[in-house]
Amino acid sequence: MTRPVALVVALLVVLPACGRDQPRSLAVSEITAYAPLPGQPSGVAYFSLRNAATSAVILQHVTSPEFALVEMHTTLMDDGMSRMMALDSMTIAELSTIEFAPGGTHLMLMRPHDGLSVGDRVTLEFHYRYDGQDEGLLAVRAQLRSR
Amino acid sequence: MPRSRLILVATVVALVIGLALFLSGHLTGSGARPLHATVLPEALPLPDFALYDHHHEPFSRDSLRGRTSLLFFGFTHCPDICPATLQQLALARKQIAESGEPATSLPQIILISVDPERDTPEKLGQYVSAFGDGITGATGEPAVLRELTSALGIFFEKEASGGAGYTVSHSTAVLVVDEEARLRALFSAPHKTEFFVHDVPLLIDAFATTRPAAR
């Protein structure tokens, strides 16, 4: 089998697993990923997460090959106090956008693999599902920045 | 009186009133006021305290004398609000310097860590240097931190974060301390760089006009 034909066959096998009945409608934009500060175990990522579908999406978790652990956190402000809370999952309503932004919801990029530094490109993998049925994976690339 | 003369007199009167209003506002400094900071009605002298900075040097109330200080209480393991605030403060100070403010008038930025268990002077030094020059990290014994923060209306609390780790919930205000080591104003979150750029020079000017007379 020639290489182009093999690629088409591979896509036909993989695509159905990404959700037969839904268009690819989860999108990440305006991503900013900060490398861990010197001596610190975690970096952080901010972005816009858009669900352009007509049904809700549940973001189950996020992984990255470059970090041992990625967690969704939100910073809660309570009478001038900042408190951090981990989120197990997140529901993004149909046709809506959630902002991951400083002082609010953010991704913790924890325990980077050895050698990772500012300027390196990393992959963030968003694991999601629609209405408890089809599962999907959205992978985006980002370049680590310094503060 | 002819109509043309009436118009001329009215115009002159309006100009005189306008000039008087402009000058009164200009001379009293009421033309530009802090828009984002909460200014205390009376200066609050800080209590004395004994912390240490990221050079292992003593850091006390006297360390705040001689120039305006922007104090933020946080910790280096804080991934979100602390680095974001320090980044905003550092950028604001850079922009204030670029606007022509003399270097001697620029505020010093101080991170007081409320996590002395993990924030050694070495860790603090590494951390604050990531935001540029001129930022001091300081911390100390928990009892000293408690006493200082209580006097300033700052709260912090160690909390479990799952696993063996922990996090520290803390106040997010940026305190403005004048060159006499007195609390004069504070910025409440959410912070924006432009808030500091606008208000801090005005606060520093206002502090200079209300400085206690030398004994």
Nearest CA-CA distance, residue B212 and chain A, Å? 31
CB-CB neighbors (< 8 A) of A84 in chain B: 78, 80, 161, 167, 169
Cis? peptide before B116, omega within 30° of 0 = no
User: Is B171–A42 a contact, with Cβ atoms under 8 angstroms apart?
Assistant: no
Q: State whether A106 and B83 contact (CB < 8 Å).
A: no
Burial class from Cβ neighbours inside 10 Å (0-12, 13-18, 19+) for residue B39 reads middle
Q: Per the structure block, which two tokens stand in for B131?
A: 């935001």
Mean pLDDT of the A117-132 span:
91
Q: pLDDT band for position A80 (50/70/90)?
A: confident
**Rounded to two decimals, what is the model's pTM?**
0.80
ipTM, two decimals, is: 0.74
CATH 3.40.50.300 given to domain B38-209? no
pLDDT of residue B32: 84
**Among A42, A83, A102, whose Cβ lies nearest the Cβ of B84?**
A102
A82–B171 C-beta distance less than 8 A: yes
User: Per residue in B85-123, is it b (16+ CB within 10 Å) or e — as a string?
Assistant: bbbbbbbbbeebeeeebeeebbbbbbbbbbbbebbbbeb
pLDDT of amino acid B114: 97
Would you place residue A16 in the very low, low, confident or very high pLDDT band (cuts 50, 70, 90)?
A: very low
Q: What's the confidence (pLDDT) of residue A147?
A: 87
Per the structure block, which two tokens stand in for B65? 């004398």
What is the C-alpha to C-alpha distance for residues B185 and B170, in angstroms, rounded to an integer? Answer: 19
pLDDT category at A130 given cuts 50, 70, 90 is: confident
Q: How does pLDDT run across B167-214, given as a tens digit for each residue?
A: 899 999 999 999 999 999 999 999 999 999 999 999 999 998 876 665
**A25: confidence class by pLDDT, cuts 50, 70, 90:** confident
Nearest CA in chain A to B166: A84
Q: What is the pLDDT of residue B183?
A: 97
Domain assignments of chain B as residue spans, ordered by start: 1-31, 38-209
* The amino acid at B150: S
Angle at A32 between CA A27 and CA A36, to 5 degrees: 130
Interchain pair B76, A83: CB under 8 A: no
Query: Which stretches in chain B have pLDDT values below 50?
Result: 18-30, 215
Q: What is the pLDDT of residues A35-66, one digit of tens each?
A: 999 888 899 999 999 999 888 999 999 999 99
The whole-chain average pLDDT of chain A stands at 84
Residue B177 makes CB contacts below 8 A (sequence gap 6+) with B46, B64, B68, B69, B70, B71, B183, B184
Which amino acid, one-letter code, is at B212?
P
Residue B174 · residue B70 · CB < 8 Å: yes
Local structure of B141: helix, strand or coil: coil
CATH fold of A21-145 reads: Immunoglobulin-like (2.60.40)
Residue A105 pLDDT greater than 70, yes or no: yes
Average pLDDT in the A86-101 region?
94
> Under an 8 A CB cutoff, do B77 and A40 touch?
yes
Nearest to B171 among A41, A44, A81 (CB): A81
> Cβ(B131)–Cβ(B87) under 8 Å?
yes
How many CB pairs below 8 A link A and B?
A: 78
A103, A84 contact by CB (below 8 A): no
Query: pLDDT averaged over chain B?
Result: 87
Q: Where are the domains of chain A?
A: 21-145
User: CB–CB of B80 and A41 under 8 A?
Assistant: no
Contact A82/B169, CB-based, under 8 Å?
yes
**Gap from A136 CA to chain B (nearest CA, Å):** 28
